[in-house]
Amino acid sequence: MSKIRKVVLAYSGGLDTSVILKWLQDVYGCEIVTFTADIGQGEEVAPARRKAKLLGVRQIFVEDLREEFVREFVFPMFRANAVYEGEYLLGTSIARPLIAKHLVEIARRTGADAISHGATGKGNDQVRFELGAYALMPEVNIIAPWREWDLLSREKLLAYAEEHGIPVDYRKKKGAAPYSMDANLLHISYEGGVLEDPEYEPEESMWRITVSPEKAPRRPEYVELTYERGDIVAVNGRRLTPAKALAELNRLGGKHGVGRLDLVENRYVGMKSRGCYETPGGTIMLRAHRAIESITLDREALALKDDLMPRYARLIYNGYWFSPERRLLQTLIDASQEHVNGVVRVKLYKGTVMTVGRSSKRDSLFDPAISTFEDDKGAYNQADAAGFIRLNALRMRIAARLKRR
């Protein structure tokens, strides 16, 4: 590999990426450009700028990507009702292609010949960052320090930081959290540390954005969501931008203990991993979107989407957001949403989300005149069902006769 001149580092300002910044300077002797993305992680990103400057970085990019994140990544994913392995709403997975996209854009803007990230060699994120980067910039060099260095423990990282004068939050030194966290506007994930024992029940204090269902309000709360072409455009009648709509649903869901998940999942690299997740707004979105589709989508169109959903979800989980197959699936999914317009009402109560109403003035396929159990005045001829059933039973009747012989 030719000598690396300039690297764009995905920089959070935390212990790992601050050590990576200094390590890149020492080992590669190259110029570092930092990129910090605000995707709603709930922490101020300005300190990352100050710390990068303190460590000698001249080109520092801090960008507010919350609206782009929800509009261009979260919403398209929820049009597909994507769920990985039946439970996980892909909160970390969907953020990585956005970060990869901006790493590449900044690399081009600054003339950098490499990008770097803080993902470990055991996890999924290294795959997601790098597949995204290669799809958008095939010639890019990628430096993943966790696959190169020997700083493979928190103690070694802290020692390196102290040796090189890298400022570290005192709470990090004291080890305040016995697990690692990743947050964005869609969710918070918790992994590692004490959670590596799948029998261990996490302490209540771990959860950050949801109350315990036992301590949630004793009265339910109703929330009304307005949809246009499969996307939420208003909450309780108030039109909101995508990011603000998700933030409001997080607030409402969190208040009622909605969206907690404790899961053992299968990582793309081959191992099983235990993670805990908080996705209050996303949990509401999934239930409500399926409800509006239930009255606006044709039966077979809905069945086709459900057949394709697990594959679509795996593509996102495994890092193939920019792949031709995901783009192709997205075209189909987006086309299916043309008539997914209307209003859904859900009830939040002690960790649950229940759909209690759905309507679409223009696009509802639900016809009460046909569906009624009362006299339908000839809208549906019940006698037609006999021939329908006999035709569908024909292959089974033939097989049964053969078996008797």
Q: How far is CA 227 from the centre of its chain?
A: 20
- Check if 16 is active-site: yes
The pairing of strands 352-359 and 342-349 is antiparallel
CA dihedral 364, 367, 373, 379 (to 10 degrees): -170
Catalytic residue among 66, 79, 96, 128: 96
- Concerning whether 125 is annotated as a catalytic residue, the answer is yes
User: Which one from 16, 66, 274, 358 is the annotated catalytic residue?
Assistant: 16
Q: Is 69 helix (H, G, I), strand (E, B) or coil?
A: helix
Identify whether the C-beta of residue 57 lies closer than 8 Å to the C-beta of residue 34. yes
Residues 6+ apart with CB under 8 A from 366: 295
Would you report the helix, strand and coil content of the chain in percent, each value rounded to 5?
45, 20, 35
Structure token digits, residue 107: 């690399």
Cα gap 33→52, rounded to integer Å = 9
Residues in the chain: 405
Residue from 113, 154, 180, 364 carrying the catalytic annotation: 180
* Catalytic residue flag (residue 96): yes
Name every residue whose Cβ is closer than 8 Å to that of residue 229 and which is 6 or more positions away in sequence.
337, 338, 340, 341
Cβ atoms 114, 142 nearer than 8 A: yes
- Calpha distance 149→21 (Å, rounded): 13
Q: Tokens representing 201?
A: 């029940």
Vertex 363 angle, CA 360 and 369, to 5°: 80
**Cα atoms in the 13 Å half-sphere on the side-chain side of 116:** 32
Catalytic site residue from 12, 18, 125, 326: 125
How many CA atoms lie less than 13 Å away from 259 in the CB half-sphere? 32
Residue 355's contacts (CB-CB under 8 Å, 6 or more residues apart) are 287, 288, 291, 344, 345, 346
Which positions are annotated as active-site residues?
16, 96, 125, 180
